[in-house]
Amino acid sequence: MALHVNFTIDSKGITVPYPRLYDEIRKNHGFVDLRGKSDQAAAIIEGQFSPALKQLLVALAEPSSPLFSLGCDIGTHREGSKKKRFREAAGGYVQLMSSLYMATSPEGYRRFAEGIADNMNIVVAKDEWKLEFSLTAVQFNLDNFDAIIPSVWVWFFAYSATTDQATASRERLIAELGHLLLAPKVLHLLKSKDGK
């Protein structure tokens, strides 16, 4: 089928840590620093609705992970303007930051997002997927660090005729995304052009 990709720059940004975020789109239970805490990552509420998201959160929480999660969410909705066979949507997001956050530039996150998109295009197969990468500034207040640094918000959506089919497609999407996020062939793109 098809993969649709968007790249944006978020004009608002966020602060980490942050409280619960409940609005018409998100039902986020608040920031939890999961670095090195894979047991806690396995218990995150959003992961209970998606085995693939749970697996991704656990992988991102490993002490050796080159990325960590600043937040995630998952859900379903109907898009009435789409063709009937793609009307049901299952989606969510994971917001990522490099473990080398002080040394990772906005340009590095852009190259990384483009690398993910290029590789996801290869595996889309029979699914109808959409990825939105949003470069997002973060007021980061952890690790005795207090500065504004970049991150990348990865929104993902799978579309099908029924909610169950869309949810199954989203699981495939997250599983593929999870493999790529931690793959050396795209992780090297986070580094500056001079390799530092």
For residue 25, the number of C-alpha atoms closer than 13 Å in the C-beta half-sphere is 6
Judge whether residue 196 has pLDDT over 60: no
Query: Element (H or E) spanning 9, and its range?
Result: strand 2-9
* Integer Cα distance of 178 and 187 in angstroms: 12
Tens of pLDDT, residue by residue over 167-181, are 999 999 999 999 999
Q: What's the one-letter identity of residue 159? A: Y
- Region 124-149 average pLDDT: 94
Quote the pLDDT of residue 23: 75
The tokens for 30 are 């608040």
Judge whether residue 192 has pLDDT over 70: no
The pTM assigned to this predicted structure is: 0.90
Tens of pLDDT, residue by residue over 5-37, are 999 999 899 898 887 777 776 666 778 899 999
Tens of pLDDT, residue by residue over 34-50, are 999 999 999 998 899 99
Residue 132 bridge partners (DSSP): 6, 155
Contact 69, 188 (CB under 8 A): no
Nearest to 67 by CA among 27, 30, 113: 113
Tens of pLDDT, residue by residue over 95-114, are 999 999 999 999 999 999 99
Quote the pLDDT of residue 150: 97
* Integer Cα distance of 177 and 156 in angstroms: 9
Tens of pLDDT, residue by residue over 53-93, are 999 999 999 999 999 999 999 999 988 777 778 899 999 99
